[in-house]
Amino acid sequence: MPNSFKKRDIIAIGDFAKEELLHVLEHTRQIKKMAPGKLLEGCILGSCFFEPSTRTRLSFEAAMHRLGGSVIGFSDGQWTSAKKGESLWDSMKMLEHYADVIVLRHPLEGSAQRAAEAVEIPVINAGDGSNQHPTQTFLDLFTILECQGSLDNLSIAMAGDLKNGRTVHSLAQALTFFNPRLYLVSPTILEMPKEICDELREKRIKFSFHKSLEEIMDKIDILYMTRIQEERFSHKFEYEQVKNAFILKTDQLQSVKKNLKILHPLPRVNEIAGEVDQSPHAYYFQQAQNGLFARQALLGLVLGKLT
Amino acid sequence: MAQKVLAVAAIRNGTVIDHIPAGQALKIVHLFHWECHQKLVTLGLNLPSRILSFKDIIKIEDLVLSANEANQVAILAPKATVNIIQDFEVISKFQVSIPASIASIISCPNPKCISNHEEMISSFKVKSHQNHVSLECKYCRRIFLYDSLDKKRIL
């Protein structure tokens, strides 16, 4: 495949063809096997986090450092000129002269697209409100491939906040290339949005809605748990009603398939009990570690250092 | 035969946009900045129409509107017809069609969309379905049905 990734913006998972997804996953595999230490030497990452983040920011910055590159930026929009009223457009225009690639997290939806229009250097979306978080999807796909040996024809349950959780939206879209059977487990008020369901129907993906994990535990290869996100609720009482809707404990893992792996984009609150960490089915910390390798692969590709 | 009396005076050269739903002509003028056009622009508002009951009409002297430009008004005036005039004669006539994308005409209904927070041009992909038109914001990627859109969102 010619390097269609050089200088490419990573805005939304839906912008990528199946072959392109697999291309990134193959580079992720190779980097995990043996990371080329000096690959990004001389390159500077502009790390622009207008919203708090732990895993995504640290894994991007670690990815850059471990490949010999360096990082400038900020981890809180409160300390930038945005606080003084500077537009995102202007902030990006300024940063373009200091960095070779921009990683952006911003509370407003569509901000990564806007940033990409402002600059010539590649922009990687690290989360724009509840819209897109494509690098999470790359690492999720890689993790599923790694622990199951294939992405094709898997039975996958997504549980928790399927309405506001951008990770499950993007993952569901990406999985449509691989003929999954999807089980969507959530309280009614947090069901998968209609437009995602419409897309699944259009692509003839089999899916069903469920209210409890028990209904589907013995059928699935992957359980993708998500946090009920308090910050996405406009009224606290709505959050209180559903915050404990799903709590996974080890006794629910008695009759599951041997190959079942439990994933979670993290952070978790209480939806996976601590005791589950010791189970051979738990795979969420390996998943978090894979974030480093997937982001290394993406940085190498958009900076033209990988082909 | 009785001569037809024009409610809005004819133009020698230029473009006539007819069959605009009543109330939309001023928005179209504003959209194309024709209030700043250096030549004559005449408007007819709330004219009787067989197709629309009431319609607006715009006549712009010395301006030839391309099909691409004209299609941008299709969201506001899906049944509009465009007449290109030369020496008082209609030399070409076409109906607008829904374009693949539109810019500037609508503001995104998603209050968390960046396009509502920065000085910028909104942009939507337009899809025509059997019974409805859907719009996908280029920025937040939310999909909206045009019919369910609060018409205050039309700029």
Domain boundary assignment for chain A = 13-133+291-302, 134-288
User: Do B131 and B149 have their domain in common?
Assistant: yes
* Domain shared by B57 and B114, yes or no: no
Strands A123-128 and A155-159: unpaired
Looking at the domain assignment, is residue B125 inside a domain?
Answer: yes
CB A72 within 8 A of CB A45: yes
User: CB atoms < 10 A from the CB of B131, how many?
Assistant: 7
Is residue B54 in some structural domain?
yes
Point out which residues pair with B46 in neighbouring strands. none
Number of domains in chain B: 2
ipTM of the predicted structure? Answer: 0.87
Secondary-structure class of domain A134-288 per CATH: alpha beta
- B122: in domain: yes
Is B5 a domain residue? no
Q: Please write the tens of the pLDDT for every residue from B3-37.
A: 566 667 888 999 999 999 998 899 889 888 888 88
Res B3: pLDDT: 59
Measured from the Cβ of residue A240, the count of other Cβ atoms closer than 10 Å reads 11
Structural domain harbouring B26 = 14-95
Collapsing DSSP to helix, strand or coil, B64 comes out as: coil
Identify the bridge partners of residue B54 per DSSP, sorted by sequence position: B48
Last residue of a domain, one of B54, B73, B95: B95
Nearest residue in B to A117, CA atom: B139
- Chain B hits for A109, Cβ within 8 Å: 110, 112-114, 139-142
Query: What does the pLDDT average to over B123-128?
Result: 90
Which band of pLDDT confidence, cut at 50, 70 and 90, is reported for residue B144?
A: confident
Please compute the mean of the pLDDT values over residues B59-88 and round it to a whole number: 90
B105 and B145 inside one domain: yes
Q: Is residue B3 part of a domain?
A: no
pLDDT at B31: 82
On whether residue B80 sits in a domain, the answer given is yes
pLDDT of residue B1: 52
Please tell me whether residues B105 and B87 are part of one structural domain: no
pLDDT at B2 over 60: no
Which of the four pLDDT bands, split at 50, 70 and 90, describes residue B155? low
Nearest CA in chain A to B119: A87
- Indicate the pTM of the whole model: 0.85
Would residue A23 show up in a list of annotated catalytic residues for this protein?
A: no
Confidence at residue A232, expressed as pLDDT on a 0 to 100 scale:
66
Position B129 in a domain: yes
Query: Residue A263 half-sphere exposure, CB side, CA atoms within 13 Å?
Result: 30
Residue A87 with chain B: CB contacts under 8 Å: 118-119
Instruction: Classify domain A13-133+291-302 at the CATH topology level.
Output: Rossmann fold (3.40.50)
Whether A13-133+291-302 shares its CATH topology with A134-288 is answered yes
Tell whether B56 and B89 lie within a shared domain: yes
Q: How far apart are CA B91 and CA B64, in angstroms?
A: 11
Residues B19 and B66 in one domain: yes
Please tell me the predicted confidence (pLDDT) of residue A70: 97
Q: Spot the catalytic one: A57, A105, A106, A305.
A: A105
B35 and B64: one domain? yes
Phi-psi region of A15 (alpha: psi -120 to 50; beta: other; left: phi over 0): alpha
The confidence score (pLDDT) of residue A79 equals 64
Residues of B in contact with A89 (CB under 8 A): 118, 120
A133 is catalytic: yes
CATH of residue B23's domain is: 3.30.70.140
* Cβ contacts of A268 within 8 Å, gap of 6 or more: A225, A227, A284
Smallest Cβ–Cβ distance between B120 and the set A109, A114, A131 belongs to A114
**Is residue B90 domain-shared with residue B56, that is, in the same domain?**
yes
- At residue A52, the pLDDT reads 85
* Per-residue H/E/C for chain A: CCCCCCCCCECCHHHCCHHHHHHHHHHHHHHHHCCCCCCCCCCEEEEEECCCCCHHHHHHHHHHHHCCCEEEEECCHHHCHHHHCCCHHHHHHHHCCCCCEEEEEECCECHHHHHHHHCCCCEEEEEECCCCCHHHHHHHHHHHHHHHCCCCCCEEEEECCCCCCHHHHHHHHHHHHHCCEEEEECCHHHCCCHHHHHHHHHCCCEEEEECCHHHCHHHCCEEEECCCCHHHCCCHHHHHHHCCCCCECHHHHCCCCCCCEEECCCCCCCCECHHHHHCCCECHHHHHHHHHHHHHHHHHHHCCCCC
Per-residue pLDDT of chain A (307 residues; tens, 9 = 90+): 555 899 999 999 999 999 999 999 999 999 999 878 899 999 999 999 998 888 899 999 999 999 999 999 998 767 666 777 889 999 999 999 999 999 999 999 999 999 999 999 999 999 998 889 999 999 999 999 999 999 999 999 999 999 888 899 999 999 999 999 999 999 988 899 988 999 999 999 999 999 999 999 999 999 999 988 776 667 777 767 777 778 899 999 999 999 999 999 998 988 999 999 999 999 999 999 999 999 999 999 999 999 8
- pLDDT for A228 equals 83
Say what the pLDDT of residue B27 is: 86
Residues B18 and B91 in one domain: yes
Residues B22 and B55 grouped into a single domain: yes
Contact: A113, B113; criterion CB under 8 Å? no
Last residue of one domain, picked from the residues B95, B115, B138: B95
Do both B35 and B63 map to the same domain? Answer: yes
B105 within 8 A of B138, measured Cβ to Cβ: no
Identify whether B109 is part of a domain: yes
Cα angle A178-A181-A182, degrees, rounded to a multiple of 5:
105
Alpha-carbon gap, residue B43 to A53, rounded angstroms: 55
Pair (B67, B140) in one structural domain: no
